[in-house]
Amino acid sequence: MTQTLKTIEIFHHTLNVGNRDWTLWASKKGLIRISYQEDQGVLPASWLKTYAPSHQFSEDAGIFDQFGATKLLESYFNGEPISFNSIPLDLWGTPFQQEVWMGLAGIPHGAIVTYKELAVSIGRPQAVRAVGAANGQNPLPVVLPCHRVIGTNGTLTGYRGGLKLKQELLKLEGITNVGAAGHERFAF
């Protein structure tokens, strides 16, 4: 007997905040991903194949307004210290990745932690490299603030959106004392 795949409706909308485009993606349950301009407003094919092999896209700004994401992102990029914890999330990743990503949600606005400190905070003190790798796969930058995680040497170390963007986000939160001595190839 052939099993039919359930088609998942994926909503999207592009906002221009912080002088760049951010494409928001959601299911009916919550926010699933935020794409940078560098992602060219598309979802990674391998990610879709794994988590939504049968899907359809719908442009819909309303669902993001309903979730509160639009207003919170606009406030954040206007320099307001806000929390994104009220936005419903529908995280697609391994259980370990989801554990790391939810650990990111606990880093307050204007604070930074090291990868080691993040690993300890989620009860995985020996998994620093795995935590870094999961951090690099974070589907919800800004909302789950992976930009607030730095190397133990006090440098940025890397960011999927580029070190310049990581510095801009930290500066927006009043953090200006972190050096950019990291290397772009480290996508933690």
52 and 121 housed in the same domain: no
C-alpha pair distances (Å), 64 with each of 25, 28, 39, 97:
9, 10, 19, 24
Catalytic residue among 72, 87, 146, 170: 146
Residue 121 CA to residue 128 CA, distance in Å, equals 11
Residue 184 included in any domain: no
Task: Let me know if 148 is a catalytic residue.
Answer: no
Q: Tell whether 127 and 167 lie within a shared domain.
A: yes
Residues 125 and 64 in one domain: no
Put residue 18 in one of left, alpha, beta given phi > 0 → left and psi -120 to 50 → alpha.
left
**Tens of pLDDT along 94-153?**
999 999 999 999 999 999 999 999 999 999 999 999 999 999 999 999 999 999 999 988
Same domain, 25 and 58: yes
Would residue 152 count as lying in a domain?
A: yes
Same domain, yes or no: 99 and 155: yes
On whether residue 82 sits in a domain, the answer given is: no
Mean local confidence (pLDDT), 65-81: 97
Place 181 in a pLDDT band, splitting at 50, 70 and 90: low
- Asked if residue 151 belongs to a domain, the reply is yes
Percentage of the chain surpassing pLDDT 90? Answer: 72
Residues 12, 72, single domain; the answer is yes
The dihedral built from the CA positions of residue 150, 153, 155 and 159, taken in this order, carries a sign that is negative
Question: Which residues form the domain of 133?
Answer: 95-172
* Structural domain total, the chain: 2
Look over the chain and give the mean of its residue pLDDT values, rounded to a whole number: 90
